[in-house]
Structure 1
Amino acid sequence: MSNPCVTLLEVLGLIVGIGAWFCSLAATIMPQWRSQSTELLIIESFEVGLWETCVVHEVAGMECRPYESLLGLSHEIMLARSLMCLSDAVGLLGIILLIPGLKQVKSCRWEGGWRVKRGLKIAAGVLFCIAGIMTLVPVSYMAHDMVMKFFDHSVPEVVPRFEFGDAIFVGWAAGFLHVVAAFLLFTSCIGMARAEPRLVFHRRQDEYKTTIEHSGKRTEYV
Protein backbone atom coordinates (compact mmCIF):
# COMPACT_ATOMS: atom_id res chain seq x y z
CA MET A 1 0.00 0.00 0.00
CA SER A 2 1.44 3.37 -1.00
CA ASN A 3 2.18 6.06 1.56
CA PRO A 4 -0.29 8.96 1.09
CA CYS A 5 2.37 11.51 2.11
CA VAL A 6 4.74 10.25 -0.59
CA THR A 7 1.96 10.36 -3.17
CA LEU A 8 1.05 13.92 -2.17
CA LEU A 9 4.67 15.07 -2.44
CA GLU A 10 5.01 13.45 -5.86
CA VAL A 11 1.84 15.08 -7.20
CA LEU A 12 2.84 18.47 -5.79
CA GLY A 13 6.30 18.09 -7.31
CA LEU A 14 4.80 17.31 -10.70
CA ILE A 15 2.35 20.24 -10.57
CA VAL A 16 5.00 22.71 -9.40
CA GLY A 17 7.46 21.40 -12.00
CA ILE A 18 4.96 21.84 -14.82
CA GLY A 19 4.10 25.34 -13.59
CA ALA A 20 7.80 26.22 -13.42
CA TRP A 21 8.32 25.01 -16.98
CA PHE A 22 5.43 27.10 -18.30
CA CYS A 23 6.76 30.17 -16.47
CA SER A 24 10.23 29.57 -17.92
CA LEU A 25 8.79 29.16 -21.41
CA ALA A 26 6.72 32.32 -21.01
CA ALA A 27 9.76 34.30 -19.83
CA THR A 28 11.72 33.06 -22.84
CA ILE A 29 9.06 34.19 -25.31
CA MET A 30 7.96 37.43 -23.64
CA PRO A 31 9.45 40.65 -25.08
CA GLN A 32 9.17 42.52 -21.75
CA TRP A 33 12.67 41.90 -20.40
CA ARG A 34 13.62 45.56 -20.45
CA SER A 35 11.08 48.36 -20.31
CA GLN A 36 11.74 52.00 -21.12
CA SER A 37 9.42 54.98 -21.09
CA THR A 38 10.21 58.66 -21.53
CA GLU A 39 8.72 61.71 -19.88
CA LEU A 40 8.27 63.37 -23.27
CA LEU A 41 6.13 60.57 -24.69
CA ILE A 42 4.10 59.17 -21.81
CA ILE A 43 1.77 57.21 -24.05
CA GLU A 44 4.66 55.37 -25.71
CA SER A 45 7.15 52.88 -24.26
CA PHE A 46 9.81 50.50 -25.53
CA GLU A 47 10.16 46.82 -24.70
CA VAL A 48 13.30 44.75 -25.31
CA GLY A 49 13.16 40.95 -25.29
CA LEU A 50 15.39 38.06 -26.22
CA TRP A 51 14.01 37.72 -29.72
CA GLU A 52 12.52 41.08 -30.65
CA THR A 53 12.04 44.71 -29.69
CA CYS A 54 8.61 46.26 -29.39
CA VAL A 55 7.10 49.74 -29.33
CA VAL A 56 3.97 49.98 -27.20
CA HIS A 57 1.55 52.81 -27.99
CA GLU A 58 -1.66 53.31 -26.09
CA VAL A 59 -3.56 54.15 -29.27
CA ALA A 60 -1.85 52.15 -32.02
CA GLY A 61 -1.09 49.10 -29.88
CA MET A 62 2.14 47.08 -29.93
CA GLU A 63 4.46 46.76 -32.91
CA CYS A 64 7.39 44.33 -32.69
CA ARG A 65 10.39 43.73 -34.90
CA PRO A 66 12.71 40.70 -34.56
CA TYR A 67 16.46 41.06 -34.42
CA GLU A 68 17.96 41.02 -37.89
CA SER A 69 21.47 39.88 -36.99
CA LEU A 70 22.57 37.26 -34.48
CA LEU A 71 26.13 38.55 -34.28
CA GLY A 72 24.92 42.06 -33.61
CA LEU A 73 23.25 41.13 -30.33
CA SER A 74 24.71 42.15 -26.99
CA HIS A 75 26.38 39.51 -24.88
CA GLU A 76 23.67 39.82 -22.20
CA ILE A 77 20.92 38.92 -24.64
CA MET A 78 22.91 36.09 -26.22
CA LEU A 79 23.70 34.60 -22.80
CA ALA A 80 20.10 34.91 -21.64
CA ARG A 81 18.75 33.41 -24.86
CA SER A 82 21.07 30.40 -24.69
CA LEU A 83 20.51 29.63 -21.01
CA MET A 84 16.75 30.09 -21.18
CA CYS A 85 16.46 27.70 -24.13
CA LEU A 86 18.59 25.15 -22.28
CA SER A 87 16.46 25.62 -19.16
CA ASP A 88 13.28 24.92 -21.13
CA ALA A 89 14.78 21.75 -22.62
CA VAL A 90 16.13 20.47 -19.29
CA GLY A 91 12.88 21.23 -17.47
CA LEU A 92 10.86 19.37 -20.09
CA LEU A 93 13.20 16.38 -19.84
CA GLY A 94 12.72 16.38 -16.07
CA ILE A 95 8.94 16.25 -16.48
CA ILE A 96 9.23 13.37 -18.95
CA LEU A 97 11.41 11.38 -16.52
CA LEU A 98 9.19 12.18 -13.55
CA ILE A 99 5.91 10.87 -14.99
CA PRO A 100 6.91 7.14 -15.09
CA GLY A 101 8.58 7.54 -11.69
CA LEU A 102 5.31 8.34 -9.91
CA LYS A 103 3.87 5.62 -7.68
CA GLN A 104 0.40 6.10 -9.17
CA VAL A 105 1.67 5.36 -12.68
CA LYS A 106 1.68 1.64 -13.51
CA SER A 107 5.27 1.20 -14.59
CA CYS A 108 8.26 -0.79 -13.32
CA ARG A 109 5.96 -3.45 -11.86
CA TRP A 110 8.68 -6.07 -11.47
CA GLU A 111 10.36 -6.92 -8.17
CA GLY A 112 12.61 -4.08 -7.08
CA GLY A 113 10.96 -1.69 -9.54
CA TRP A 114 10.53 0.87 -6.77
CA ARG A 115 14.28 1.48 -6.96
CA VAL A 116 13.94 2.39 -10.63
CA LYS A 117 11.08 4.76 -9.81
CA ARG A 118 13.15 6.32 -7.06
CA GLY A 119 16.05 6.79 -9.47
CA LEU A 120 13.76 8.46 -12.02
CA LYS A 121 12.48 10.87 -9.39
CA ILE A 122 15.99 11.72 -8.24
CA ALA A 123 17.08 12.32 -11.84
CA ALA A 124 14.03 14.54 -12.41
CA GLY A 125 14.82 16.49 -9.25
CA VAL A 126 18.41 17.05 -10.37
CA LEU A 127 17.20 18.24 -13.77
CA PHE A 128 14.76 20.63 -12.10
CA CYS A 129 17.62 22.07 -10.02
CA ILE A 130 19.73 22.56 -13.14
CA ALA A 131 16.80 24.18 -14.97
CA GLY A 132 16.21 26.51 -12.03
CA ILE A 133 19.85 27.60 -11.93
CA MET A 134 19.87 28.12 -15.70
CA THR A 135 16.82 30.36 -15.32
CA LEU A 136 17.98 32.36 -12.32
CA VAL A 137 21.44 33.12 -13.75
CA PRO A 138 20.40 35.08 -16.89
CA VAL A 139 17.44 36.75 -15.18
CA SER A 140 19.54 37.92 -12.24
CA TYR A 141 22.37 38.99 -14.53
CA MET A 142 20.03 41.08 -16.68
CA ALA A 143 18.47 42.61 -13.57
CA HIS A 144 21.91 43.43 -12.14
CA ASP A 145 22.99 45.03 -15.41
CA MET A 146 19.88 47.22 -15.49
CA VAL A 147 20.39 48.30 -11.89
CA MET A 148 24.03 49.25 -12.52
CA LYS A 149 23.12 51.26 -15.61
CA PHE A 150 20.13 52.88 -13.93
CA PHE A 151 22.28 54.29 -11.09
CA ASP A 152 25.20 55.20 -13.34
CA HIS A 153 26.01 58.82 -12.48
CA SER A 154 28.10 59.28 -15.61
CA VAL A 155 24.93 59.21 -17.71
CA PRO A 156 22.85 62.42 -17.68
CA GLU A 157 19.54 62.23 -15.87
CA VAL A 158 17.60 63.30 -18.95
CA VAL A 159 18.64 60.13 -20.76
CA PRO A 160 15.91 57.45 -20.40
CA ARG A 161 16.93 54.26 -18.61
CA PHE A 162 15.67 50.72 -18.82
CA GLU A 163 13.73 49.21 -15.94
CA PHE A 164 12.58 45.71 -15.03
CA GLY A 165 10.07 44.17 -17.40
CA ASP A 166 7.45 41.56 -16.59
CA ALA A 167 9.64 38.76 -17.95
CA ILE A 168 12.21 39.36 -15.19
CA PHE A 169 9.67 38.60 -12.47
CA VAL A 170 8.25 35.63 -14.38
CA GLY A 171 11.79 34.26 -14.76
CA TRP A 172 12.47 34.61 -11.05
CA ALA A 173 9.24 32.77 -10.31
CA ALA A 174 10.20 29.99 -12.74
CA GLY A 175 13.61 29.47 -11.13
CA PHE A 176 12.15 29.43 -7.62
CA LEU A 177 9.41 26.96 -8.59
CA HIS A 178 11.96 24.65 -10.21
CA VAL A 179 13.94 24.51 -6.96
CA VAL A 180 10.75 23.90 -4.93
CA ALA A 181 9.73 21.04 -7.26
CA ALA A 182 13.17 19.44 -6.84
CA PHE A 183 12.91 19.73 -3.04
CA LEU A 184 9.50 18.04 -3.05
CA LEU A 185 10.79 15.16 -5.18
CA PHE A 186 13.85 14.62 -3.01
CA THR A 187 11.66 14.59 0.11
CA SER A 188 9.31 12.05 -1.47
CA CYS A 189 12.29 9.79 -2.24
CA ILE A 190 13.31 9.82 1.44
CA GLY A 191 9.78 8.95 2.53
CA MET A 192 9.53 6.29 -0.15
CA ALA A 193 12.70 4.55 1.10
CA ARG A 194 11.44 4.54 4.70
CA ALA A 195 7.94 3.32 3.84
CA GLU A 196 9.07 0.52 1.52
CA PRO A 197 8.60 -2.89 3.13
CA ARG A 198 11.69 -5.04 3.56
CA LEU A 199 11.85 -8.80 3.66
CA VAL A 200 13.58 -10.57 6.53
CA PHE A 201 15.39 -13.78 5.62
CA HIS A 202 15.83 -16.52 8.26
CA ARG A 203 18.74 -18.85 8.26
CA ARG A 204 17.41 -22.31 7.66
CA GLN A 205 20.77 -23.85 8.52
CA ASP A 206 20.62 -22.60 12.14
CA GLU A 207 17.11 -23.95 12.50
CA TYR A 208 18.25 -27.31 11.14
CA LYS A 209 21.10 -27.50 13.70
CA THR A 210 18.74 -26.65 16.53
CA THR A 211 16.37 -29.45 15.45
CA ILE A 212 19.22 -31.98 15.42
CA GLU A 213 20.36 -30.96 18.93
CA HIS A 214 16.86 -31.39 20.33
CA SER A 215 16.56 -34.80 18.67
CA GLY A 216 19.89 -35.87 20.19
CA LYS A 217 18.84 -34.88 23.68
CA ARG A 218 15.62 -36.87 23.41
CA THR A 219 17.59 -39.97 22.33
CA GLU A 220 19.89 -39.76 25.39
CA TYR A 221 16.94 -39.72 27.77
CA VAL A 222 15.56 -42.89 26.18
Structure 2
Amino acid sequence: MATEIVAFLLTISGWILVSSTLPTDYWKVSSVDGTVITTATFWSNLWKTCVTDSTGVSNCKDFPSMLALDAYIQVCRGLMIASVCLGFFGAIFALVGMKCTKIGGSETTKARLTVLSGFHFILSGLCCMTACSIYAHRITTEFFDPLFVAQKFELGAALFIGWAGSVLCVLGGLIFCLSLSEGFSMRRVA
Protein backbone atom coordinates (compact mmCIF):
# COMPACT_ATOMS: atom_id res chain seq x y z
CA MET A 1 0.00 0.00 0.00
CA ALA A 2 2.87 2.39 0.75
CA THR A 3 4.28 1.79 -2.73
CA GLU A 4 0.95 2.78 -4.29
CA ILE A 5 0.79 5.94 -2.18
CA VAL A 6 4.30 6.95 -3.28
CA ALA A 7 3.37 6.22 -6.89
CA PHE A 8 0.19 8.25 -6.53
CA LEU A 9 2.06 11.23 -5.07
CA LEU A 10 4.66 11.07 -7.86
CA THR A 11 2.07 10.84 -10.61
CA ILE A 12 -0.18 13.57 -9.24
CA SER A 13 2.82 15.88 -8.79
CA GLY A 14 3.90 15.13 -12.34
CA TRP A 15 0.38 15.65 -13.69
CA ILE A 16 0.14 19.03 -11.93
CA LEU A 17 3.46 20.09 -13.48
CA VAL A 18 2.37 18.87 -16.92
CA SER A 19 -0.97 20.68 -16.57
CA SER A 20 0.74 23.89 -15.53
CA THR A 21 3.08 23.69 -18.52
CA LEU A 22 0.26 23.99 -21.06
CA PRO A 23 -0.72 27.62 -20.26
CA THR A 24 2.76 28.75 -19.14
CA ASP A 25 4.05 31.73 -21.10
CA TYR A 26 7.74 31.06 -21.57
CA TRP A 27 8.13 28.13 -23.99
CA LYS A 28 10.75 30.08 -25.92
CA VAL A 29 12.44 33.34 -24.95
CA SER A 30 14.67 35.90 -26.63
CA SER A 31 16.03 39.14 -25.22
CA VAL A 32 17.12 42.15 -27.25
CA ASP A 33 19.31 44.76 -25.60
CA GLY A 34 19.29 47.72 -27.97
CA THR A 35 20.60 50.41 -25.63
CA VAL A 36 20.97 50.85 -21.92
CA ILE A 37 17.45 52.29 -21.72
CA THR A 38 15.47 49.99 -24.01
CA THR A 39 15.27 46.27 -23.44
CA ALA A 40 12.68 43.97 -24.94
CA THR A 41 11.96 40.36 -24.15
CA PHE A 42 10.23 38.30 -26.81
CA TRP A 43 8.51 35.14 -25.69
CA SER A 44 6.10 32.64 -27.10
CA ASN A 45 4.07 29.61 -26.10
CA LEU A 46 1.62 27.29 -27.83
CA TRP A 47 -1.13 29.91 -27.97
CA LYS A 48 0.42 33.36 -28.49
CA THR A 49 3.55 35.37 -29.07
CA CYS A 50 4.40 38.42 -26.95
CA VAL A 51 6.94 41.15 -26.38
CA THR A 52 7.60 42.77 -23.00
CA ASP A 53 9.45 46.09 -22.79
CA SER A 54 11.68 47.39 -20.00
CA THR A 55 8.72 48.91 -18.15
CA GLY A 56 7.05 45.51 -17.88
CA VAL A 57 4.27 46.21 -20.37
CA SER A 58 3.45 43.19 -22.54
CA ASN A 59 1.96 43.29 -26.00
CA CYS A 60 0.60 39.90 -27.02
CA LYS A 61 -0.81 38.54 -30.24
CA ASP A 62 -2.77 35.30 -30.33
CA PHE A 63 -2.02 32.97 -33.20
CA PRO A 64 -4.63 33.99 -35.77
CA SER A 65 -5.62 30.70 -37.35
CA MET A 66 -5.12 27.12 -36.30
CA LEU A 67 -4.72 26.03 -39.90
CA ALA A 68 -2.05 28.66 -40.54
CA LEU A 69 0.14 27.45 -37.64
CA ASP A 70 3.35 25.55 -38.12
CA ALA A 71 2.82 21.80 -37.90
CA TYR A 72 5.09 21.39 -34.88
CA ILE A 73 2.94 23.77 -32.81
CA GLN A 74 -0.22 21.86 -33.75
CA VAL A 75 1.44 18.57 -32.83
CA CYS A 76 2.67 19.97 -29.52
CA ARG A 77 -0.79 21.33 -28.69
CA GLY A 78 -2.40 17.96 -29.39
CA LEU A 79 0.19 16.02 -27.40
CA MET A 80 -0.05 18.34 -24.40
CA ILE A 81 -3.85 18.21 -24.33
CA ALA A 82 -3.71 14.42 -24.65
CA SER A 83 -1.18 14.32 -21.83
CA VAL A 84 -3.42 16.32 -19.48
CA CYS A 85 -6.47 14.18 -20.34
CA LEU A 86 -4.59 10.88 -19.90
CA GLY A 87 -3.27 12.06 -16.53
CA PHE A 88 -6.77 13.05 -15.40
CA PHE A 89 -8.21 9.62 -16.20
CA GLY A 90 -5.12 7.95 -14.71
CA ALA A 91 -5.76 9.81 -11.45
CA ILE A 92 -9.38 8.65 -11.36
CA PHE A 93 -8.41 5.03 -12.04
CA ALA A 94 -5.68 5.24 -9.41
CA LEU A 95 -8.04 6.58 -6.75
CA VAL A 96 -10.53 3.80 -7.43
CA GLY A 97 -7.92 1.05 -7.81
CA MET A 98 -5.58 1.71 -4.90
CA LYS A 99 -5.69 -0.73 -1.97
CA CYS A 100 -6.17 2.07 0.56
CA THR A 101 -9.49 3.20 -0.96
CA LYS A 102 -12.80 1.51 -0.23
CA ILE A 103 -14.28 1.81 -3.74
CA GLY A 104 -13.52 -0.30 -6.78
CA GLY A 105 -14.84 -3.76 -6.04
CA SER A 106 -12.80 -6.93 -5.67
CA GLU A 107 -9.05 -7.10 -5.23
CA THR A 108 -8.57 -8.30 -8.81
CA THR A 109 -10.62 -5.41 -10.22
CA LYS A 110 -8.71 -2.90 -8.10
CA ALA A 111 -5.40 -4.37 -9.30
CA ARG A 112 -6.49 -4.04 -12.92
CA LEU A 113 -7.55 -0.43 -12.37
CA THR A 114 -4.20 0.32 -10.74
CA VAL A 115 -2.32 -1.08 -13.75
CA LEU A 116 -4.63 0.83 -16.09
CA SER A 117 -3.85 4.04 -14.20
CA GLY A 118 -0.14 3.26 -14.44
CA PHE A 119 -0.41 2.93 -18.23
CA HIS A 120 -2.37 6.17 -18.42
CA PHE A 121 0.32 8.01 -16.47
CA ILE A 122 3.13 6.49 -18.54
CA LEU A 123 1.38 7.57 -21.75
CA SER A 124 0.70 11.00 -20.26
CA GLY A 125 4.38 11.46 -19.42
CA LEU A 126 5.50 10.23 -22.84
CA CYS A 127 3.09 12.60 -24.62
CA CYS A 128 4.36 15.58 -22.64
CA MET A 129 8.00 14.58 -23.06
CA THR A 130 7.49 14.21 -26.81
CA ALA A 131 5.76 17.59 -27.10
CA CYS A 132 8.45 19.42 -25.13
CA SER A 133 11.20 17.66 -27.05
CA ILE A 134 9.70 18.49 -30.46
CA TYR A 135 9.36 22.14 -29.46
CA ALA A 136 12.89 22.24 -28.03
CA HIS A 137 14.30 20.55 -31.14
CA ARG A 138 12.77 23.26 -33.33
CA ILE A 139 14.22 26.02 -31.14
CA THR A 140 17.73 24.54 -31.03
CA THR A 141 17.73 23.74 -34.74
CA GLU A 142 16.90 27.35 -35.60
CA PHE A 143 19.35 28.69 -32.99
CA PHE A 144 22.36 26.76 -34.28
CA ASP A 145 21.51 27.11 -37.99
CA PRO A 146 23.91 29.72 -39.46
CA LEU A 147 21.55 30.27 -42.43
CA PHE A 148 18.55 31.10 -40.21
CA VAL A 149 18.30 34.90 -40.30
CA ALA A 150 15.12 35.52 -38.28
CA GLN A 151 15.14 36.17 -34.54
CA LYS A 152 16.66 33.31 -32.58
CA PHE A 153 15.07 32.02 -29.38
CA GLU A 154 16.28 29.97 -26.43
CA LEU A 155 14.55 27.28 -24.37
CA GLY A 156 12.01 28.65 -21.92
CA ALA A 157 11.17 27.56 -18.39
CA ALA A 158 7.97 25.79 -19.48
CA LEU A 159 9.95 23.14 -21.34
CA PHE A 160 11.96 22.22 -18.25
CA ILE A 161 8.80 22.10 -16.11
CA GLY A 162 7.19 19.85 -18.72
CA TRP A 163 10.17 17.51 -18.82
CA ALA A 164 10.24 17.27 -15.02
CA GLY A 165 6.50 16.57 -14.87
CA SER A 166 6.71 13.93 -17.57
CA VAL A 167 9.53 12.12 -15.77
CA LEU A 168 7.48 12.07 -12.55
CA CYS A 169 4.45 10.71 -14.43
CA VAL A 170 6.47 7.95 -16.08
CA LEU A 171 8.21 6.97 -12.83
CA GLY A 172 4.96 6.90 -10.87
CA GLY A 173 3.22 4.95 -13.63
CA LEU A 174 6.02 2.38 -13.66
CA ILE A 175 5.77 2.01 -9.89
CA PHE A 176 2.01 1.45 -10.22
CA CYS A 177 2.63 -1.29 -12.80
CA LEU A 178 5.43 -2.90 -10.75
CA SER A 179 3.35 -2.83 -7.55
CA LEU A 180 0.89 -5.16 -9.26
CA SER A 181 3.59 -7.65 -10.22
CA GLU A 182 4.74 -7.71 -6.58
CA GLY A 183 1.16 -8.50 -5.54
CA PHE A 184 0.94 -11.40 -7.99
CA SER A 185 4.28 -12.87 -6.87
CA MET A 186 3.17 -12.70 -3.22
CA ARG A 187 -0.11 -14.49 -4.05
CA ARG A 188 1.70 -17.33 -5.86
CA VAL A 189 4.01 -17.91 -2.89
CA ALA A 190 1.12 -18.00 -0.40
Report how far residue 23 of structure 1 moved: 0.9
Write the distance in 2 (CA, Å) between the matches of 1:194 and 1:107: 24
List structure 1 runs of 4+ shifted beyond 4 angstroms: 196-199
Cα deviations by residue, 1:140-192 (Å, 9 ceiling, x for unpaired): 11111111111111135xx5311001111011112111110111111211222
Corresponding residue pairs, total = 188
Q: Larger C-alpha radius of gyration, 1 or 2?
A: 1
Q: Is the 8 A contact 2:33 2:40 kept in 1?
A: no
Partner residue, 1:26: 20
1:45 paired with 2:41, answer yes
**Unaligned ranges ≥5, structure 1:** 1-6, 200-222
Write the distance in 2 (CA, Å) between the matches of 1:105 and 1:16: 18
Q: Name which of 60, 75, 79 aligns with 1:79.
A: 75
Write the distance in 2 (CA, Å) between the matches of 1:92 and 1:108: 17
Partner residue, 2:183: 192
Q: Is the 8 A contact 2:33 2:39 kept in 1?
A: no
Report how far residue 12 of structure 1 moved: 1.0
Q: 1:43 to 1:68 in 2, by over 3 A?
A: same
Write the distance in 1 (CA, Å) between the matches of 2:109 and 2:31: 54
Q: Name which of 132, 135, 145 aligns with 1:142.
A: 135
Q: Name which of 82, 95, 119 aligns with 2:112.
A: 119
Write the distance in 1 (CA, Å) between the matches of 2:91 and 2:53: 39
Cα RMSD between the aligned structures? 1.9
TM-score, normalization: structure 1?
0.78
Write the distance in 1 (CA, Å) between the matches of 2:136 and 2:104: 45
**Unaligned ranges ≥5, structure 2:** none
Q: Is the 8 A contact 1:97 1:123 kept in 2?
A: yes
**Which amino acid letter does the alignment assign opposite residue 26 of structure 2?**
Q
Q: Is the 8 A contact 1:9 1:187 kept in 2?
A: no
TM-score, normalization: structure 2?
0.90
Report how far residue 34 of structure 1 moved: 1.0
Query: What is the percentage of aligned positions where both structures have the same residue?
Result: 26
Q: Name which of 157, 160, 169 aligns with 2:151.
A: 160
Write the distance in 1 (CA, Å) between the matches of 2:8 and 2:114: 10
Q: 1:74 to 1:178 in 2, by over 3 A?
A: same
Write the distance in 1 (CA, Å) between the matches of 2:20 and 2:160: 11
Report how far residue 198 of structure 1 moved: 8.1
1:8 paired with 2:2, answer yes
Partner residue, 1:220: none
Cα deviations by residue, 1:115-152 (Å, 9 ceiling, x for unpaired): 11110011011111111111111111111111111111
Compare 60-69 and 92-101 and name the one that shifted more. 60-69
Q: 1:9 to 1:62 in 2, by over 3 A?
A: farther
SS in 2 for 1:29: coil
